[in-house]
Amino acid sequence: MTYKTQMEAAKKGIITKEMSVVAKKEFMEAEKLRDLVACGKIAIPANINHRSLSPEGIGEGLKTKINVNLGISGDCADYTKEMEKVDMAVKFGVEAIMDLSNYGKTNTFRKQLIERSPAMIGTVPMYDAIGYLEKDLMEIKAKDFFKVVEAHAKEGVDFMTIHAGINKRAVECFKRSKRLTNIVSRGGSLLFAWMEMTGNENPFYEYYDEFLEILREYDVTISLGDALRPGSIHDSSDAGQLSELIELGDLTKRAWEKDVQVMVEGPGHMAINEIAANMTIQKRLCHGAPFYVLGPLVTDIAPGYDHITSAIGGAIAAASGADFLCYVTPAEHLRLPDLEDVKEGIVASRIAAHAADIAKGIPHAREIDNKMSDARRRIDWEEMFSYAIDGEKARRYFESAPPADKHSCSMCGKMCAMRTTNKILAGEAVEFCSEK
């Protein structure tokens, strides 16, 4: 029995090799996973041309996944540095990398990325349109966008962010809402500008079914971009955001009808008290499709620390139903992140995702925490370092101020609570003044 996409296979009752791999990783029965792929509640982004991919599932009942953004810009066009960020992401076990390059001919970097990365690869074709087509925005015709999407699909991109929901209806709603920060999505702003300058409908919306045919051919998952995501807590949950979300719900069903897998992108800035409700609304309006959030950032006043504001929001979002977190680095709103920024962003997102998985009761999520706690009780430093998200940093901190007694740390020394309790339970006396 033949099939084009993971969803088509699942609908036909087939368990693909990618489904088998994901089921094993997630401690889920393959038949259950297949059924969730068939109804769209789980996506397995796996382009037929991405040979080095280690498949991952995103969606209901699975571990929360993390995405890392990187890529070449006009001000920072160092391919070597960007590839170092790729290696950093792979080292920390992130499941997805988005190449957001927007300068020059980006396909060389993207092809190298796809060739070497076991993580799934995503792109935003709208970013690449101007460089790929060598046309200014006003000169690009609706059908030109097909060339970019098809080029990315052929190269092996596993998922693409397509801002198909910002149609003329959504734009009118956005204009009426009188936002504080307007449109902060780069791809969304470019499409908005193109629509306003040409007077035409969004080509990704107008020709949506034709774009789906390209994605189906290579089994590219569509990540329905939120062009009108809030860029400040002032704008969150407004009419513009929700009007686009309604459009995305309809586009989700249309993609599923063509056996194209779907993820739906969510808000960027949002007050803590709104997050859980937004997750519920998204899942309802978009029929349970996997939800992919940027943060959300829970305050707007922490430039330099937005990996923390993002991790707070991401943990709450994922615990409330989001399936996929896009990392945010300390450089957000300030500059292109360097290697250390990327590391800080990854670690913060890993913490948020893992905390959410514990809250959601994901199978075996607590096991490593229990192992860490047992190693702490026994004061086994090497074992603790092995379980840490960033064991190198943990070791560096410990060794920077080593204790006189290896069965403690330099904060508590011989008054370590673990040490004291272990001694008493072992039938030993606790003495300080007489100890040498």
Q: Which residues are annotated as a binding site for Zn(2+)?
A: 269, 333
Helix, strand, coil % over all residues of the chain, rounded to 5: 50, 10, 40
**Strand ranges (E), 72-226:** 96-99, 120-123, 159-162, 221-224
The token pair that represents 101 in the structure block:
């390059």
Question: Which residue reads 């774009």 in tokens?
Answer: 211
Residues 198-219 as b/e (b if ≥16 CB within 10 A, e otherwise) read eeeebbbbebbeebbebbbebb
CA distance 59 to 61: 6
Residue showing tokens 């209901």: 60
> Please, is 75 exposed, middle or buried when counting C-beta atoms within 10 Å of its C-beta (0-12, 13-18, 19+)?
exposed
Q: What HEC string does 105-147 produce? A: CCHHHHHHHHHHCCCEEEECHHHHHHHHHCCCHHHCCCCHHHH
Compute the distance between CA of residue 68 and CA of residue 342 in angstroms, rounded to an integer.
8
Cα angle 159, 161, 166 (rounded to 5 degrees) comes to 150
Q: Is 135 helix (H, G, I), strand (E, B) or coil?
A: coil
Token representation of residue 293: 């959030």
Q: Which two tokens stand for residue 299?
A: 């305050």
For residues 260 and 252, what is the distance between their CA atoms, to the nearest angstrom? 9
Task: Spell out where 320-408 has E strands.
Answer: 324-326
State the sign of the Cα–Cα–Cα–Cα dihedral 203, 206, 211, 212. Answer: positive
Instruction: Give the residue ranges of the annotated binding site for substrate.
Output: 69, 98, 127, 163, 185-187, 226-229, 265, 292
Q: Which residues are annotated as a binding site?
A: 69, 98, 127, 163, 185-187, 226-229, 265, 269, 292, 333, 409, 412, 416
List the one residue out of 364, 383, 363, 365 whose CA is nearest residue 374. Answer: 383
Residue 123 DSSP SS3 = strand
Q: For residue 181, count CB atoms less than 10 angstroms from its CB and return exposed for 0-12, middle for 13-18, buried for 19 or more.
A: middle
SS3 65: strand
Separation between Cα atoms, residue 337 and residue 330, nearest integer Å: 8
Q: Which residues are annotated as a binding site for [4Fe-4S] cluster?
A: 409, 412, 416
